[in-house]
Structure 1
Amino acid sequence: MKPAILIHGPTASGKTALSIAVARKFDGEIVNADSMQVYDRLNVISARPSEEEMDGVPHHLFGHVPVATRFSTGEWLEQARTVIEDIQKREKTAVVVGGTGLYLMSLIEGLSDIPPVPEDVRHEVLEIAKADGLRGLKIRLQVVDPDAAARIDDNDRQRLTRAYEVWLATGRSLTSFQNNKTNAVLNPDEWLGVALTPPRSKLYARIDRRFEGMLMEGAMEEARALDRLGLDPELPAMKAHGMPWLTAFIRGELDAATAAENAKRDTRRYAKRQFTWIGRQFPFWPRIPSTEIATRIRVISALYREVDR
Structure 2
Amino acid sequence: MQVYRLDLSKAVLIAGPTASGKSALALELAQKTGGIVINTDSMQVYRDLRIITARPTVEEEARVPHRLYGHVDASINFSAGAWVADAEKVLAEARAAKRLVVFIGGSGLYFKALTRGLSAVPPIPAEVREAVRARLERDGVEALHAELARRDPVSAERLKPRDRTRIARALEVVEATGRTLPSWHREGLPPLLPPGEFSALFLAPDRDQLYARIDARFDAMLAAGALEEVAALAARKLDPLLPAMKAHGVPALIRHLRGEITRDQAAEIGRADTRHYAKRQFTWFRHQLPEFEWVAPEAARGWVATVSGPPPSLRGE
Q: Which TM bucket (shorter chain)?
A: 0.7 to 0.9
Matched residues, number: 298
Counterpart selection for 2:67 from 38, 60, 67? 60
Does 1 or 2 have the higher relative contact order (CA < 8 Å, sep 6+)?
Answer: 2
**What residue in structure 2 maps to residue 244 of structure 1?**
251
SS class of match (1:294): helix
TM-score using structure 2 length: 0.82
Write the deviation string for residues 135-189 of structure 1: whole angstroms up to 9, x where unpaired: x88x959x8227982xx79997655654565456556443443333113212322
Q: Distance in 2 between matches of 1:279 and 1:59?
A: 27
CA contact (8 A) 2:39 2:45 kept: yes
Q: Does 1:98 align with 2:105?
A: yes
CA contact (8 A) 2:114 2:192 kept: yes
**What residue in structure 2 maps to residue 145 of structure 1?**
154
Counterpart selection for 1:275 from 282, 293, 305? 282
Aligned sequence identity (%):
41
Q: Does 1:259 align with 2:257?
A: no
Q: Distance in 2 between matches of 1:160 and 1:202?
A: 36
Q: Distance in 2 between matches of 1:25 and 1:121?
A: 49
**What residue in structure 1 maps to residue 132 of structure 2?**
121
CA contact (8 A) 1:144 1:167 kept: no
CA-CA distance at 1:101 after TM superposition: 1.3
Write the deviation string for residues 18-74 of structure 1: whole angstroms up to 9, x where unpaired: 111121233211011111111112110111100223351110111111111111221
Counterpart selection for 2:57 from 50, 62, 68? 50
RMSD value, Cα: 3.2
Comparing 34-43 with 212-221, greater Cα deviation is found at 34-43
CA contact (8 A) 1:122 1:165 kept: no
TM-score using structure 1 length: 0.84
CA contact (8 A) 2:48 2:229 kept: yes
Counterpart selection for 1:83 from 52, 77, 90? 90
SS class of match (2:47): coil
Q: How does 1:141-290 map to 2 (within 5 A)?
A: 144-145=153-154, 149=158, 158-159=165-166, 162-163=169-170, 165-166=172-173, 170=177, 172-290=179-297
Which runs of no fewer than 5 residues in structure 1 stay unpaired? none
SS class of match (1:96): strand
Residues 95 and 221 of structure 1, relative CA distance in 2, 3 Å threshold: same
Over alpha carbons, which structure has the higher Rg?
Answer: 2
**What residue in structure 2 maps to residue 294 of structure 1?**
301
CA contact (8 A) 1:148 1:163 kept: no
CA contact (8 A) 2:34 2:64 kept: no
Please tell me the residue identity of whatever aligns with 1:185. L
CA-CA distance at 1:297 after TM superposition: 2.9
CA-CA distance at 1:277 after TM superposition: 1.2
Comparing 170-179 with 71-80, greater Cα deviation is found at 170-179
Q: Distance in 2 between matches of 1:56 and 1:196?
A: 23
